[in-house]
Amino acid sequence: MPFPQIDPVAFALGPLVIRWYALAYLGGVVLGAAYATTLLAKASLWRNNTPPFAPAAIWDFAFWAVLGIVIGGRLGYVLFYNLPYYAQHPLEALMLWDGGMSFHGGLGGIMVAMIWFTRSQGGNPLSGLDLLGAIGTIGLFLGRIANFINAELYGAPTTLPWGVIFPTDPEQVPRHPSQLYEAALEGIVLFIVIRYATHVAYSLRRPGEVAGIFGIGYALSRIAVEFVRLPDAQLGYLHGGWLTMGMVLSLPILVAGIGLVVFARRSRRV
């Protein structure tokens, strides 16, 4: 398949350059907050008809969400993906415009922000994390599409008919469009699964269950795609030509997700 010639720069206003990647972050927060409003407004979805906070408060949380994603994502990248380099060039860790973000770090950052915010609103922190799980797939989908537009994080060579030749690939061979695999699994499929959980199985009535489902779904999807996705060049494979940092960081999320579902199922149901 030919790579669609989409400029990574969405538009420019004089010296101000707006990239699709930045718009993906912004869109994920805005669309996620909008969807969260509908979930929070439907009290019957939640345990004791009590959402973690009022629907309008989600827009106050959006500010803290951005901080959590950016700080956590950058810190995660520095610590997990390129620590030796940034240990020698510490000031470059602050240069966000040069790229380098970790989903796992961003997830940790936004979770901390949600727990703090929910407590400040007098709500159940586990229900707050459930809300994140219910809306998080939106940002994942948009982020992976932006990765594809940027022709980054692509996969290993393939002979499959949907292999893509990326313009940034020095070898210029067909490769797995691993960004689209993740967009489909972590974005579309996981959204459908969680939508069933929230509106059919009423999982939000069991605090922690939706967050656990998200953790399990994300971790399994990420680990599966990592088998065909090339690792970061500065790290390479950690073991045996197959184990990657993405797999290692996803395992704790998988374990935590299973633990949350078990805990939620064993708790008193209402």
Whether residue 39 contacts residue 134, with contact meaning beta carbons closer than 8 Å, is answered with: yes
Pull the structure tokens for residue 259.
Answer: 């633990």
Report in angstroms the alpha-carbon separations of 139 from 34, 83, 256, 262. 12, 26, 21, 26
Q: Tell me how far apart the alpha carbons of residues 120 and 116 are, in angstroms, rounded to a whole number.
A: 6
Which amino acid is located at 116 in the chain?
Answer: W
Q: What are phi and psi of 167, to 5 degrees?
A: -65, -20
Residue given tokens 């380098």 in the structure block: 100
The CA R_g of the chain, rounded to the nearest whole Å, is: 19
| Start-end of H helices in the chain | 20-41, 58-81, 83-88, 103-120, 125-149, 178-182, 190-199, 209-226, 245-266
d(CA 135, CA 97): 26
What gap in Å lies between CA 66 and CA 226, rounded to an integer? 26
235 alpha carbon, distance to own chain's centre: 21
Is 144 annotated to bind ligand?
Answer: yes
Q: Which letter does DSSP use for residue 164 in this model?
A: B
Contact 51, 43 (CB under 8 A): yes
Binding residues, as ranges, are 144
